[in-house]
Amino acid sequence: MHRQHVASDALFERIKHSIAGGESSYARLAEGPGFCMARGEGSHIFDVDGNEYIDWCIGYGPLIMGHRHPRVIAAVVEQLEKRGSMYTFPHELDAEVGEKMVRAVPGLELVRFAMSGTEATLAAMRLARAYTGKQKILKFEGHYHGWADEHFVSYHPDDETGGDEAEPKVLLTAGCPQAIADTLVIASWHRPEYVEAAIRKHKHELAAVLCEPQMCNCGIVPVEPEWLHWLRRITAENDILLIFDEVMTGFRLALGGAQGYYGVTPDISCFSKALGAGFPVAAFGGSREVMALEAANEVVHGGTYTAMPMNLAASNVVLGEMIEHEETFYPRLHEVGNRVVRGLQRAADENGVRAKVLGLGPLWQIIFLRDGAPDDPIIDNSRTMLAVVDTERFGIFQSEMLDRGIYFHPGAFERWFASSAHTDDDIETTIVAAHEAMAVVAKAAPVPAV
């Protein structure tokens, strides 16, 4: 029953002649592309061989209303046809989208637009340094904020590579200046005793604590809400800003993002993905006081393409939908996620496969437990995640699901996303496929214990 990928394979070979590696993002190249896309429609995608898939990756998260949503597309086309793609002047959509963001998110009084999550988080780090007059940023192991020198650091270290959990090593990527190591303090997520020690040691140098309020980039690691409250308290007590990178969680967990969901307001927050509904929109913002430096142009943030009306036209539609239908939009995203989570877990359990589905409503992930790992391991940061995951069985499951027309990210530490376009049928079809795929995983040879 294997699906043919003949046209995909040929196209990818051709792409590789001009595009290094065949993909323009390390993140997409890492696990292999699987197939080349022809088009997307709602919750489904079609490859160049004519295969159709239910898409649980939705462009790594942005397509929260699905592919080609008619109202998003209509707004963008109208903008293009009647008014143009870009202005580099203030325009009405600045106000429309800005006002909606400020209304929706507790921590936002003023925002600035950017083009990508990477840029938004970099701008937030610079703003925190300018505001506090301090140099260092405390970043957590396993958290992802983009691919730049300043923050693509200590992404997935394990016990061997990361050093002591109390004072993890700063692990830089190839080509990153060594000097960056002096600008960061690396810490372990969900470890108050170590973080408190790091803050005491570096408080006079620390401008900010930067985190994903809910870890989504080393699998889904459920956050302890009290820990977020604790981070808020300890940063405030030590004159350190708290930056929430809500690129994944923003406008997704809830209208107010993770800060709204957990009731913890950071000083600066960063958004992208769901904010653009498939168009490149990102933003960072905070209180009037912190953002005053941006308003006065005392700290530099810019970009030719920031606040492009073509992109903000899409944001305006998606934010309008979320605000107007908050009472149904978010419960539905959570329902879709919760039903798939329960279905996947049942599929694993009934087939005797040791897997755990870690869910947060609209974002979830399935992990397969290594032989030797406990049945119910504590997974509270990237190290405890990396220590138990069996990537081989995940790979079997993923490829069996792909063959059955179910697409989710082929990386064992990536997550699935719900959109408002996913239907009950998509959920049922996915669960039926999961039962079949789990039966195949159940027969796979044991993976040696580590």
Active-site positions read: 144, 245, 273
Name the residue nearer to ligand PMP (CB basis): 131 or 140: 140
Which two three-digit tokens encode residue 78?
A: 């109208």
Question: How many CB atoms within 10 Å of residue 439?
Answer: 15
- Radius of gyration of the chain, Cα coordinates, nearest whole angstrom: 22
Strands 282-286 and 110-114: antiparallel
**Min CB(377)–ligand PMP separation in Å:** 24
CB of 148 to ligand PMP, least distance (A): 9
Residue 423 burial (C-beta neighbours within 10 Å; 0-12, 13-18, 19+): middle
Neighbours of 68 (CB within 10 A): 14
DSSP class of 2: P
Residue with smaller CB distance to ligand PMP, 146 or 278:
146
Instruction: Evaluate whether 248 touches 216 at the Cβ level (below 8 Å).
Output: yes
d(CA 143, CA 141): 6
Identify each DSSP E strand in 147-249 by its residue range.
184-187, 206-211, 241-245
Q: Which one, 176 or 431, has the nearer CB to ligand PMP?
A: 176
Shortest separation between residue 349's beta carbon and ligand PMP, angstroms: 30
What are phi and psi for residue 23, nearest 5 degrees?
Answer: -140, 145
Which of 84, 142, 148, 121 lies closest to 309 in space, CA to CA?
84
The least distance separating ligand PMP from the CB of residue 183, rounded to whole angstroms, comes to 18
Asked if 36 and 278 touch (Cβ cutoff 8 Å), the reply is no
Q: Smallest gap, in angstroms, from Cβ of residue 150 to ligand PMP?
A: 12
Collect all residues with Cβ–Cβ distance below 8 Å to 27 and sequence separation of at least 6. 60
| Minimum CB distance to ligand PMP smaller for 151 or for 404 | 151
CA distance 333 to 391: 27
Q: For residues 212 and 390, which CB has a smaller minimum distance to ligand PMP in the complex?
A: 212
Return the DSSP state at 42. B
Contact 294/112 with Cβ under 8 angstroms? yes
- Give the pair of three-digit tokens for residue 18: 């001009």
Contact status, residue 168 vs residue 162, Cβ threshold 8 Å = yes
Q: In 82-95, which positions are buried (b, 16+ CB within 10 angstroms) versus exposed (e)? A: eeeeeeeeebebbe
Nearer to ligand PMP, 243 or 438 (CB): 243
Nearer to ligand PMP by Cβ, of 217 and 365: the residue is 217
Contact assessment for residue 388 and residue 369, using Cβ atoms and an 8 Å cutoff: yes
Based on CB atoms, which residue is closest to ligand PMP, 53 or 140? 140
Which helix H or strand E contains 12, and what residues bound it? helix 6-18
Which positions ≥6 away from 110 have C-beta within 8 Å?
Answer: 102, 285, 286, 287, 288, 291, 294, 295
Q: How far is the CB of 61 from ligand PMP (least distance, A)?
A: 7
Residues that bind ligand PMP (CB under 6 A): 60, 116-118, 121, 144-146, 212, 216-217, 245, 247-248, 272
Q: How far is the CB of 169 from ligand PMP (least distance, A)?
A: 22
Q: How far is the CB of 111 from ligand PMP (least distance, A)?
A: 16
Q: Judged by CB, which is closer to ligand PMP: 274, or 355?
A: 274
What are the backbone angles phi and psi of residue 318, rounded to the nearest 5°?
-70, -40
Nearest residue to the partner ligand PMP, using Cβ? 117
Q: How far is the CB of 449 from ligand PMP (least distance, A)?
A: 32
Question: For residue 335, what are the contacts with CB-CB under 8 A and spacing of at least 6?
Answer: none
